[in-house]
Structure 1
Amino acid sequence: MRAPGTVVRIVCAFTGVVVAPIAVGLISSGGGAWAIAQMQFSYRRTGLPLDRLIGPTLLILLGLLLLAGVVLTGLFSATGLIAAGVVGILPALGTLAPGAALGVFTSRLVPIPVIEPLAHGLPAAILPLLGFMGLTLVTVRLRPPRESAATALLGAVTALLALALGGVLLMWGVQLGISRAFTNFDTRFHPLPAALVLLALVLIGVGVGASRWSWFALVLPAMVLLVLSLINVLSFALYAAGPRDIAQPTGTFLILGGGVAVAVAELAFTAVLLVLRARTRRIGPTTAAGPGLAANAVPGAHPAGMGYPAAPPQTGLTGAQPSAPPPPAPPAPPAT
């Protein structure tokens, strides 16, 4: 497997910088219409206006397809995913310093549909997740992990626990920070929400990184998110399941399509890991230096694990028989 070319890296970087934020915006816009319709259904006990939800549903599906496409660029290069993670620094900073995000919101310099998802944590959850996936791909390509049942199980458990705890802390930090800032126009800096968001991002990075040792580590978290999203669409049960500062932002995040988006990204990344695993088994661990080289090998060096050939026997002038030993030296003359 050769190193990706410059054109491939540029295209992948474009998907991370441009396509990934557009995908998040489409998902949030379509999910917003679903949230309004569900709220009206809950209060008025009327049927969902399915005919008016066709357009928002198509927006969500288009956003999910674009998001999956960004993740699948990891088959060629991790540049796009890492670029998306770099873009995700901005919304993460917005959750850490909600006053700055509120200033941008009130200044009208950025369209409301672009800045509004920040209040619900979608960009701060999805874009850094893509960045961690890109970093994980880099480590997998440079030093493929050794497969074993113990490490696979440990990776799966670590991913599930770290992602679950990270998601809860992120929603808690978003609710105490940027959501209240947008609601109460509070521009003050609060250390607790900032600490919660930072700790949440660290845990999300650990959870994604655990998939390095277990290719199926992200499947179970994705299934959990899909089930919770379905439950949240059918009822408002999650809004009352637990403390309000955690349950309310979690329910909003799920109804806006954030849970489905994260699940699609995790499943697409699992497919990328499976393809890389198959390539590694077929052609061996590779680096950007060229095919068939071990991760720590030096190009041009003798392949590891192979013995050096034996030295040929020394031959004479004819090349058929070994050369005869030299004649003995003559005896010394007697002393006079």
Structure 2
Amino acid sequence: MRRSSMPARLLTAAIALVITPIALVLLSMGGVTMNRTFFEFGFDGDIGRLVGPLLLQSLAVVLLVLVVLTGIWSSAGLIVVGCFALAPLVVAILPGTLPLLYRVVPQEWGDGLVYGIPLAVLTALGAMGLVLFLVRRDPRPRGTALGIIGIVVAPVLLAAGAWALAWGVAEGMLFAVQRFQFDPRPDAAAAVLAGILLVFAGVLVSRWSPFALILPALVLLVGGLLMLVAPEWASRVLFTLPRGVNTVIPGLLLYGAAAAAGVSYLAFTAVLVRVRSQARLSGTQDPHAPGAAAAYPYPPAQHPGDQYPPAPYPAAEHPGDQYPGAQAPYPPAPYPPQPGS
């Protein structure tokens, strides 16, 4: 069992708490420009208009990867920022909080929240932290069967979670902002909750299969790339989806959430393999760790006085006996006997 030290926990928590909000803000700022360029003003093929927002989103992705990499030292930072997903979850369930939110934060930040960017990103980071926490305490592999099942189950859970989350966000927060109707909608709230749980479970499957997130990562990266290089074709495909989903998913792609999640999944896969290897190596040196091999070349003593490794000669049975390494209770009598002895 390899537990992270207290300084490592504090340091990773501080790094995550500082860097993650900055990354989310950069995603939102770049995403607002991207969204307006493609859907409001119409994209005329001028790539130069996208350089600024793409740089902001790229920097945001780098910062999120740094947060994921802190998991090598400790899972505390990822778990702490994952807990902050409760704040956007409350806003998603209670859209009436949005008018107050827009009064205290810049519009770009609020727009990113309305599209569910912080909700999706923070949930995934928290699940990654929990996986690393569990792996450090029991790094034993779960077998080939569970590994194969995980590779199949993780993409299904993540896709279902993204679908439910997109529909819930569209029918909840986005609907409220567009129509100025901020009453709670139970169906949208239930969809958001289901989506969060499914995304969390999809990442948690990597506990069984370390490479379960590679396929979802590639799908997300390809989807984000297609939205940039073939926006008309991608838009036509996405708009064939049901109402609500066809609004939020293009927004998630343009806001860089898909690219951020994909790169973070790949970085997390490397971190998970590294942490599992470290925990198993540490476990072989700890006889009390689950599945650890004994660290001693000889079995433990069964009775008081047993010594391992065994002495090459038996212990002295009489006061005058001498064996290499044996200690007599008192010095032997001189020989030959001296007068008066």
Per the shorter chain, which TM-score range? 0.7 to 0.9
- Residue 117 (str. 1) matches residue 112 (str. 2): yes
Q: CA shift at 1:4, angstroms?
A: 3.4
- 209-218 or 227-236, which moves further after superposition? 227-236
Q: What TM-score, normalized by structure 2, do the two folds share?
A: 0.82
Could you tell me which residue of structure 2 aligns to residue 104 of structure 1?
101
Report the secondary structure of 2:283's partner residue: coil
CA–CA distance in structure 2, aligned partners of residues 272 and 223 of structure 1: 17
1:307 aligns with 2:295: no
| 1:153 partner amino acid | I
Residue 295 (1) aligns with residue 284 (2) = no
Contact kept? 2:92, 2:189, Cα under 8 Å: yes
Residue 264 of structure 2 corresponds to 265
Match of residue 255 from structure 1: 254
When structure 1 is superposed on structure 2, of 259-268 and 11-20 the one drifting more is 11-20
1:181 counterpart residue number? 176
Quick check: 1:12–1:80 contact (8 Å CA) kept in 2?
yes
Residues 206, 294 of structure 1: CA spacing in aligned structure 2 closer, same or farther, 3 A cutoff? farther
Q: CA deviation at 1:96?
A: 1.3
**Aligned partners of 1:165, 1:159: CA distance in 2, in Å?**
10
Q: Which residue of 1 aligns with 2:310?
A: none
* Uncovered stretches (5+) of structure 2, i.e. residues with no partner: 308-313, 324-341
Q: Which of 131, 136, 142 is 1:141 aligned to?
A: 136
Per-residue deviation, residues 76-112 of structure 1 (Å, max 9, x unmatched)? 011110111112210111111111133322xx12222
Equivalent of 1:231, from 226, 231, 237? 226
RMSD of Structure 2 on Structure 1 (CA): 2.6
CA drift of 1:303 comes to 5.6
Q: 2:136–2:276: 8 Å Cα contact kept in structure 1?
A: no
Contact 1:74 1:81 in 2 (8 A): yes
2: CA distance between counterparts of 1:79 and 1:248?
Answer: 35
* Cα gap change, 1:155 to 1:279, in 2 (>3 Å): same
The aligned counterpart of 1:24 is 24
Pair 306,220 (structure 1): closer, same or farther in 2 beyond 3 Å: farther
Encode CA deviations 1:252-311: one digit per residue, 9 max, x unaligned.
111111110111111111010121233245x2437xxxx54553499xxx8699733575
Instruction: Please name the residue that 1:72 is paired with.
Output: 69
Are the equivalent residues in 1 in contact too, given 2:2–2:282 (CA < 8 A)? no
Contact kept, 8 Å, 1:99 with 1:189, in 2: the verdict is yes
Contact 2:28 2:109 in 1 (8 A): no
Instruction: Report deviation, 1:210.
Output: 0.6
| Alpha-carbon separation, structure 1, partners of 2:282 and 2:142 | 13
Residue by residue, what CA displacement relative to the aligned partner does 1:110-167 show, whole Å, maximum 9, x if unpaired? 2222222111010010011101110111001011132422111011112111111011
Identical columns (%): 35
Structure 1 residue corresponding to 2:202, chosen from 202, 207, 218: 207
Shift of 1:32: 2.1
| Residue 147 (structure 2) aligns with | 152
Contact map agreement 1:117 1:123 (CA 8 A) in 2 = yes
Aligned partner of 1:83 in structure 2 is: 80
Q: In the TM superposition, what is the alpha-carbon distance from 1:315 to its structure 2 partner?
A: 5.6
Change (3 A) 1:111 1:160: same
